[in-house]
C-alpha cells in the first residue's frame, strides 16, 4: 500500500513495515541479503553490512561494518541514519531488532525453503522498487532448480540417508525445520534428523544414525580435511564429504549457483559409491 511517498508492506513474520518508496540508505544485517541487494542493483544505496557479508568480495572494503549478525553495533548504525534495515528472524537477535525498530523501518525475513526464499526476493524487490530485477533473479533460480530436478530424474537418483553437520564441539546438525533441510531434499538427501532445528549429538548418538553420507559444512564451523579424517574414523561405512556451506544455507540470489554445485557434488558422491 502506498502512502505519502512510503510503502506499507508485510514482512515475512507478518509485521506491517512502513518504509520509503525508494530507500536510499539501506543496512543489511544478513550476509545473503547483502548479496541480494547488490545483485538487485542497490549497491549505491547499501550503506552498512555485517562483518560476515563476504559476497561479493568488495562489500567489506566499501561499506560500513555494523558488527556481526548477533552483535550489532548500534552506535555505527545510528551514525549511518538508515531509512531501511533488512534483518532475519533466525540470524539476528530478537532483542537487538526490537531496539532498532524503535528508530527505523526494519523488514524481517524468515526463509525456511525455496518457496519462501523466492517470496522474500519478490518482497524485497517491491520495497526497494526493484520488482523487475527481482523477478529476473527468481526466474533464474527456478530455471537452475529445474535443471537439478531433471538431472535427478534422468540419472534415476534415489534418496540417500544423510546428516549435515554445522558445528564441531559440540557436534550440531541441521534438523528438519531449516533451509538446509529443504535444500537437502532438493538433492534427494533424506535427512536423518527428524526433529528440531540444530540439535546437538554426542559421538555415540551420531554413530546410531547410520547415514549413507556425512556432510561436513564449511560454515558456520569451518570443517577441514583433519575433521573429515576424524569423522571417517567414526563412520567407517558412510561417505564423509566436505561441502560448501554457502550453497546449502545462503538464500537470496546466491541460490542461483546452488543447483550446478549440487549436480557436481552428486556426481562425485555417485562415483565414490561405485569405486
CA 175 to chain centre: 15
Assign 201 a pLDDT band (cuts: 50, 70, 90): very high
Question: Residue 187 burial by CB count (10 A; 0-12/13-18/19+): exposed, middle or buried?
Answer: buried
**Residue 208: is its pLDDT beyond 70?**
yes
Fold of the 2-130 domain? Rossmann fold (3.40.50)
| Global confidence as pTM | 0.93
Same topology for domains 2-130 and 138-273, yes or no?
yes
Give me the phi and psi of 249, to 5 degrees please: -125, -15
What's the pLDDT band for 206 if we cut at 50, 70, 90? confident
pLDDT cut 90: percent of the chain above it: 86
Three-state DSSP class for residue 56 = coil
Contacts of 114 (CB under 8 A, 6+ apart): 141, 145, 182, 183, 186, 255
pLDDT reading at 1 higher than 70: no
pLDDT at 3 over 70: no
**How far is residue 59 CA from its own chain's centroid?**
17
Distance from the first to the final alpha carbon of the chain: 59
* pLDDT of 237 over the 90 cut: no
Asked whether the predicted pLDDT for residue 89 surpasses 70, the reply is yes
Tell me: pLDDT of 264 over 80.
yes
Cα(67)–Cα(27) distance, rounded to whole angstroms? 11
Domain boundaries, the chain: 2-130, 138-273
**What pLDDT digit, counting tens, does each position of 124-138 carry?**
999 999 999 999 999
Q: How confident is the model at residue 253 (pLDDT cuts 50, 70, 90)?
A: very high
Pairwise CA distance, residues 145 & 256, whole Å: 8
Lowest mean pLDDT among 73-82, 196-205, 220-229: 196-205
**Cis before residue 96, ω within 30 degrees of 0?**
no
The span from the CA of 227 to the CA of 201, in Å, is 16
Question: Which class in CATH covers the domain with range 138-273?
Answer: alpha beta
Amino acid at each position: 500500500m502506498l502512502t505519502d511517498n512510503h510503502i506499507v508492506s508485510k514482512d515475512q513474520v507478518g509485521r506491517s513495515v512502513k518504509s520509503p518508496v525508494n530507500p536510499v540508505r539501506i543496512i543489511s544485517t544478513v550476509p545473503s541479503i547483502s548479496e541480494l541487494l547488490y545483485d538487485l542493483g542497490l549497491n549505491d544505496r547499501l550503506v552498512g553490512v555485517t562483518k560476515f557479508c563476504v559476497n561479493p568480495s568488495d562489500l567489506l572494503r566499501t561499506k560500513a561494518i555494523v558488527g556481526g549478525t548477533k552483535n550489532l553495533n548500534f552506535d555505527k548504525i545510528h551514525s549511518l541514519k538508515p531509512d531501511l534495515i533488512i534483518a532475519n528472524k533466525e540470524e539476528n537477535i530478537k532483542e537487538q531488532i526490537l531496539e532498532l525498530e524503535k528508530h527505523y523501518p526494519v523488514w524481517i525475513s524468515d526463509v525456511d525453503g525455496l518457496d519462501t526464499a523466492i517470496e522474500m526476493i519478490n518482497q524485497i524487490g517491491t520495497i526497494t522498487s526493484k520488482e523487475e530485477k527481482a523477478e529476473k533473479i527468481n526466474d533464474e533460480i527456478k530455471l537452475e532448480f529445474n535443471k537439478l530436478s531433471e538431472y535427478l530424474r534422468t540419472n534415476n537418483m534415489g534418496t540417500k540417508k544423510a546428516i549435515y553437520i554445522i558445528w564441531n564441539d559440540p557436534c550440531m546438525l541441521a534438523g528438519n525445520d531449516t533451509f538446509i533441510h529443504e535444500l537437502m531434499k532438493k538433492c534427494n538427501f533424506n535427512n536423518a534428523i527428524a526433529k528440531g532445528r540444530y540439535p546437538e549429538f554426542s559421538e555415540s548418538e551420531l554413530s546410531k544414525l547410520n547415514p549413507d553420507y556425512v556432510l561436513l559444512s564449511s560454515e558456520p564451523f569451518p570443517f577441514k580435511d583433519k575433521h573429515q579424517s576424524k569423522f571417517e574414523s567414526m563412520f567407517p561405512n558412510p561417505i564423509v564429504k566436505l561441502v560448501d556451506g554457502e550453497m546449502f544455507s545462503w538464500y537470496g540470489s546466491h541460490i542461483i549457483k546452488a543447483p550446478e554445485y549440487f549436480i557436481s557434488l552428486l556426481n562425485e558422491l555417485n562415483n565414490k559409491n561405485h569405486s
